Structure formats: C-alpha cells, structure tokens
Chain A
Amino acid sequence: MTEHASPEGDTGKKERLVALRPMAPIVPPVNVSGRALMVVIAIMSFLCAITLGAVTMVQEKAEAWQGDISREITIQIKPVDDLDMEAALTEVQSIVLSYPGALSAEIVDRASTARLLEPWLGEGFDMDELPVPRLVIVTIDETAPPDFASIRQTLAEAVPAATLDDHRAWAGRLISMARITVFIGVGILTLMFATTMLTVIFATRGAMDGNRHIVEVLHFVGAETGFIASEFQKRFLLIGLKGAAFGGGIAAAGYVVLGVWQSNTMATALNDQVTALFGRFTLSSAGYFGIIGIVVLISAMTAITTRLTVIRTIREIDRQRADPSLAEIG
C-alpha cells in the first residue's frame, strides 16, 4: 500500500511516496501465550478425539456382537438309543424352516463337528464311538423372529432329543456387558470432555490476561465493548480452530493409519495380537463426525470464553472507575 503524502511544510518540497504495510490486526497475531493455548487445545482435542473414537468403536463392536448372537439360534440333538441322527437332523431342519422368521437352517455336518471337537479330542477320533451331539444352526429374521415356544413344543413332540438354544442367556449377559462397557466409555468421555472444556477455558483466560492492556487501550480510545469482544473473539476462534483441528486431525489420521495397517497386515502375528487386544481400529463415519464435532465445540468454547473474558475485563475497568480503591493510585 502506498500513499502520496502531503508536501513537507508549506514550501511544498518534492512529494514523496510513503509506503505503508497492510494494517496490523487490532489483536496481535499469535504470541507466546497464544501459541501455548494452541498447543493445549491441540493436545486436549487429540485426547478427546481418541477417547471418542475408542468409545464409538466399543459401542459399535458391542452392537455387532449383540446382532450376531441374536441373528442365530442353535438346535442341539443329543444321541440317544435307536435314534437315526441323520434323519433327526433333517426332520429338525424341515420343522424349523416351516416357521416364518426362520431364514435358513444349516446342519453342521460330521466333518465340521469333528473339527469343532478337534481341540479337545484330537485328530482322527471315531465319532461313532462317542455320544457326540449334533447341531443345526438356524438364521432368523431379527425384525420378525419365529415363535420359539412353538418350535420348542413341536421339536419336543417330533424329536424329543432335540433342544433349542435361542442364546437368550448368553445374549443377555453380552448385552449387559456391552452396556456397562459403553456406560464406562461414555463416563470417561464425559470426564475427558469436562477436563478439556475447563482446560480450554482457563488456558484462554490465561492467554487473555496478556492482552489486558490492549483491551484497556481500545476501551479508552472509544471502542465499544462489542467491537473489542468481536476482535478478540475472531483471533481466538482462529487459535482454537487451528489447535483443535490439528489435535482432532492427528487423532482421525491415527485411526485411518491403524485401520489401513490392520487391513494390509492381516494374518500376521503382530496384527493378530493387536486385534485380539484392541479389536479392529475401524472408525465409522459417526466417529469421524464426532471428531469434527469436538473440533467445532472446542473452537466455539474458546471463542465464547474469549468474548466473556473481554466483557469481564471491561467490567473490571468500569468497576475500578466506580470504586477508586480498586484502581492504582495516581
């Protein structure tokens, strides 16, 4: 930007070009306290986003387990004297499939049953020499499940050796466990979030303390409270947004990288161990939206705290005006 300054003095010497830099912002760009605030916000956003991602993953995993269990029921036929096991299996299959809501019924064949028992009985055992029960796995329509009581009654009449296990007890325990896990996760997330908010509020107020003289000067040169608050709010919103986006971004990128790594290193010992310990690091879109929400919320909190701090500072200046004992003696 340049300006043709008026001639020096009345004699009108040679007119000179005065170069001016672009106007500095009313509130200075990031200083030491602003940078510290940005780092604090980035760290807290990262921790918050990691916690949110973990809770989302646990919740989705729990829901998936619950869904898997409740999608299947098992019918077990115990070997009793004079029972034609293969005929009984086929009869059970046809009985079950006659009920609406039973989508499929798969007989676990002899080879598969042997494989299931292999860890306990070893290879090459003769299944006919042992009273090994056989299974029919039935997939049901979750939204319109069949009448289990009626199936039980029909099976008791047609194949007395068959028992139906609708996994209700197992599913109940799993649901309880999942609920407790999610409850604990939400509790941790709440604490984490509260800590983040308090940290952001105090860090913002700390950073604002270093700008008190600017608020005073602006107030004394006739700037209205709303103007001063808006100027600081804009600057600190940017600080909050940068810090939170960096922290949240790193967390989101971490989930992406871990997910890709797990996909690309399937069936390796390390991957198996990590997956057994932590599960799959796959964050759903809800998780990523949650992280974006955290970034927005933390930035907004920074801006709101700044606005309130400016208003409070101006009120303090006016309180000193009303009560001279609070002011410096001049």
Chain B
Amino acid sequence: MIHFENVGLRYGMGPEVLRDLTFDIPKRSFQFLTGPSGAGKTTLMRLLFMSLKPTRGLIRMFDRDISIIPGEDLPLLRRRIGIVFQDFRLLDHMTTYENVALPLRVRGKDESSYRSDVIELLKWVGLGERINVLPPVLSGGEKQRVAIARALIDQPEILLADEPTGNVDPPMAQRLLNLFIELNRLGTAVVIATHDLTLMDRVNARRMILSEGRLDIYD
C-alpha cells in the first residue's frame, strides 16, 4: 500500500533529518513508529500523509508516485488516510460531534446518513457526555480522543496517529489501543508514532525505530 525507497529529507540547506528510508507498509498491517525526540518521527508521519515531499528517493502511496501527483488529486488520496495530529487541530467553533463529522461533511454526505455513527464512535472513545461541547473546554485527553474519532470516522485504509495516547491516562490509553486493534482487524493499516514503551509492549506488532534519521525495523 505504501512503499518508501531510499527516501531522504532535509529542511533547506540543513543536514538530512531522514536518511535512506526503505520500507513498506502493507495493507492491514499494524506498526509502531518510535525513537528519541527529534529523531524525525513527525517528519516521517508528514511524509506518510503527503504533507511533505522527500528531497530524494521514491514514495509510492496507493500505487501512485507522490512526487508526480497533481495538487488537485491530494484531497482525494488523503480521504483514504486518517490522521491524528500531535496538536489535534480541532476547529474551536465546532462541537465535538461536528469536529468528528467534519471529514464526512466535506465529502458531501448527508448528516442523517452518519449521525448515529458519529455518536456511537464518540461514545466508544468515552465522549458520549461531551457531544455538544466545544474544544476550548475539553481537556487535552478529550481533545486527543476527538482527534482520533475524527481520523477514524470514515474507516480509512490507513490510520496515522502521532502520539495518540500522550495525553490520556493508562486505562483510556488501553481503550484507545483496543480501538486501533479493532480497526486493524476490520482492515485498516495502522501506524502509531509513540514514545510509550508500555503501550508498545501490549501489542505484538512491528516496530519501526528511528534514530538519527535512520530507520530500523523489527518485525
């Protein structure tokens, strides 16, 4: 589904922050992306989300070379990806429900077709009582769960989650992990960038460890 080959990336004239990355993310796979702070995890997630282009190497997403994808095709490809940003990126004027429903709304779907799904998902991530609340009054953990629900709502082919359990307590982290596993069972590939060793130890999944811009993979 995703193929990286000798991918390198540098910001401006600086040193390469990612070097010679070669790996595949197969369909229905589950992997953790980890490494020390500043190792380039977020940069790699941005490459996977096509919000950055590599300075060298080849990236193929859904059988397309991303270096030659025209800008107008990007939104359609991104609809196949669910992403949880580290800083959540929720819209403050929309309620929890409206933020989660946003990806479906921009696809032109009728509200009646997804209303119950959104509410059900919000209940699943423990926000059943916060459906009509605006993000500024949510805690960090609640915002994170809203961001996760928004990424999952359209059942993407791949889920990219940057530190998805960074702001929640261990029981909620476990619950979210179970949600990711369930999603993976239903066919979605999952990439979770995290520092949380305990979380990684709970699942027998592939580990991609970034260190000084290089990637080591442990299947």
Contact = CB atoms under 8 A, between A and B. Distances in A.
B51 A222 contact: no
B76 interface: yes
Categorize the interface residue count of chain A: 35 or more
B72 A220 contact: no
A28 B106 contact: no
Contacts of A21: 95, 132
B64 interface: no
B78 A213 contact: no
A20 B97 contact: yes
B115 A3 contact: yes
A8 interface: yes
Contacts of B111: 23
Nearest to B90: A217
Contact of B55 (A20, A324, A330): A324
Contact of B93 (A28, A219, A221, A324): A28
B93 A6 contact: no
B74 interface: yes
Interface in A124-141: none
A214 interface: yes
A222 B150 CA distance: 12
A325 B51 contact: no
Interface string B76-98: 10110001010001111111011
Interface of A: 3-6, 8, 18-21, 23-24, 26, 28-29, 213-214, 216-225, 227, 314-315, 317-318, 320-322, 324-325, 327, 329-330
B119 A330 contact: no
Contacts of A19: 132
Nearest to B89: A217
A217 B84 CA distance: 11
Contact of A23 (B10, B43, B85, B98): B98
Interface of B: 9-13, 17, 42-43, 45-46, 49-53, 55, 71-72, 74-76, 78-79, 83, 85, 89-95, 97-98, 101-103, 105-107, 111, 115-116, 119-120, 123, 128, 131-132, 150
Contacts of B49: 220
B94 A222 contact: no
Contacts of A321: 50-53
Residue among B53, B55, B105, B106 having the largest count of chain A Cβ atoms under 10 Å: B106
A263 B149 CA distance: 68
B98 A24 contact: yes
B46 A330 contact: yes
Contacts of A28: 91-93
Nearest to B99: A217
Contact of A20 (B71, B83, B103, B131): B131
A204 B89 CA distance: 24
Residue among A3, A4, A220, A222 having the largest count of chain B Cβ atoms under 10 Å: A222
Q: Give the 8 A-B CB pairs with smallest separation, nearest first.
A: A325-B12, A330-B42, A223-B106, A28-B93, A222-B79, A221-B103, A5-B119, A222-B78
A5 B123 contact: yes
A24 B119 CA distance: 16
Residue among B79, B91, B95, B120 having the largest count of chain A Cβ atoms under 10 Å: B91
Nearest to B111: A23
Contact of B78 (A214, A220, A322): A220
A222 B93 CA distance: 19
Given A6-B116, A23-B111, A221-B106, A216 B89 contact: yes
Contacts of B94: 24
21 contacts: A3-B116, A5-B120, A5-B128, A6-B120, A6-B123, A8-B123, A26-B106, A217-B89, A217-B102, A222-B78, A222-B79, A222-B103, A222-B107, A223-B106, A224-B106, A320-B52, A321-B51, A324-B11, A327-B52, A329-B17, A330-B43
Contacts of A322: 53
